[in-house]
Structure 1
C-alpha cells in the first residue's frame, strides 16, 4: 500500500438539516493543528442520533477524497458542494478506498491507533444535506460509503500525519467485498459466516450476519419439508 497521509480532519457540532428541521451532525468543519482523539472519536465532535451514529464502534468516519469526483459525475448540478468534509467524515485522504481498505485493518496515525470496524451505511440525510434526491442511493450502489474506525489507542493526530497499515486481519474482506456479500440477493452461507468471523468486525454486524444465516437455514429447511 502506497504512503498515504491525512489530507484533512473534520469535526463539528449539530446543525439543522432540511426544511423539516432534523438535527444532524453531518455538518463538519475543518480542524487544524493537534486533534485529540479518545475512545469515541475526535474531542468536540458530536452526533445527533446516537442510535445510528457515534459510539466506540463508529468513533471516526473516513471517506476517500477521490469519491467526490465520482459523485460529481453523477450529480454535476451540485459538484461545487461535493468537497471533502461535506458528507460528515472525520478523516479525508487520497489513496485509501473501499477497494484497498479491509475490515479489521489496523492503522497507526500520529499518536493514535485505529481499527476498521465496519462500513458506513448511507441514509436519507445525505440527500437532505445536498437538497438532491438519489445521492445516498448512488453512494450505496457504487459502494462509496467510507468506513468507521474504533480507537484502539487514544492520542493526537493532525493533518499531514501518515497512515501506516500495522496489521491486516482479513485478506479477503475489503469494504467493497463486504458489500458484495451483504448486498447479494442470494448470499452464500459460507461467505456470510466467513465475514462474520473476521477479527475486528463490529459486534452488531456479526450478530446481523449470523442471524441472517439462521433465517436462511430455517427457510430452506421449511421449503424442503424438513
Structure 2
C-alpha cells in the first residue's frame, strides 16, 4: 500500500532577536511562506537560516517538516493557557517548520523513510526536540513538554536528492527499515526525561 501526502506550503526564516525570559537570543524559529519553487540543497532550503547550528541545521537536520493537521491543536493549547484572546489560526511556519505537510502523521513515518517529491528526495532522520525558544514563541512554559508528550513534533529530514520543491506538490512515502517511528522515538525521549 502506497502512502501519499501533499506539501501544502514551504517556509524559510532569517535569524533575528527573540526574547526568552529575561534574555534576548538569536533565532530563526519564525518562518514565512515562500511563493514559487524553492531550491533544496544538502544543507536545506535556499534562503533559510539557523541561529544555533549545534542543534538545528546540518546534513541530518537540513529541513524541518510538520504535519499541518497539528496547527489547530497548538492553537487550542495556547488559548487554554490564556496566551491569546483571539481565535486566529496559527500560520504555517509559526512553529519553525520549513515544510507544512498534509496526510502524514508521526506514527505513520519512520526514521529512514523517504519522502519522494517530483525532483527532491528527503530522508527522515529524527523527531524535533523542542527547546526554550519554542516555549517562548508559543507563550507558555510547558510547550516543549507538550510537544514531546503529544507526539506533535514533526521531524527532521536529510536531503538525499537535491532539486526544486513547489508548494502544492504531492509526495510519496517510501518505506525504509521501519524499525522506529517518529512517535516511538518521541515516546522514548518522554520516558527518559520522566525517569
Return the structure number with greater relative CO, CA threshold 8 A, min gap 6: 2
Structure number with higher strand proportion: 2
Distance in 2, Cα, partners of 1:4 & 1:33: 19
Match for 2:177 among 169, 177, 182?
A: 169
SS of residue paired to 1:37: strand
Kindly indicate whether the alpha-carbon contact (under 8 Å) linking 1:25 and 1:47 is maintained by their aligned counterparts in 2.
Answer: yes
Offset at 1:147? Answer: 0.3
Q: Does 1:70 align with 2:101?
A: no
Distance in 2, Cα, partners of 1:86 & 1:49: 18
Task: Name the count of aligned residue pairs.
Answer: 185
Offset at 1:5? Answer: 1.0
Offset at 1:2? Answer: 4.6
Q: TM-score, normalised by structure 1?
A: 0.76
Unpaired runs of at least 5, structure 2: none
**Deviation larger for 129-138 or 90-99:** 129-138
Q: Does 1:41 align with 2:44?
A: yes
SS of residue paired to 2:88: helix
RMSD of equivalent CA atoms: 1.8
Match for 2:24 among 21, 25, 28?
A: 21
Q: TM-score, normalised by structure 2?
A: 0.87
Distance in 2, Cα, partners of 1:126 & 1:181: 20
Aligned to 1:11: 12
Offset at 1:81? Answer: 6.0
Q: Note closer, same or farther for the CA distance 1:134–1:161 as it changes in structure 2 (3 Å cut).
A: same
**Deviation larger for 155-164 or 136-145:** 136-145
Distance in 1, Cα, partners of 2:62 & 2:189: 22
Aligned to 1:148: 156
Kindly indicate whether the alpha-carbon contact (under 8 Å) linking 1:81 and 1:130 is maintained by their aligned counterparts in 2.
Answer: no
Q: Highest Rg: 1 or 2?
A: 1
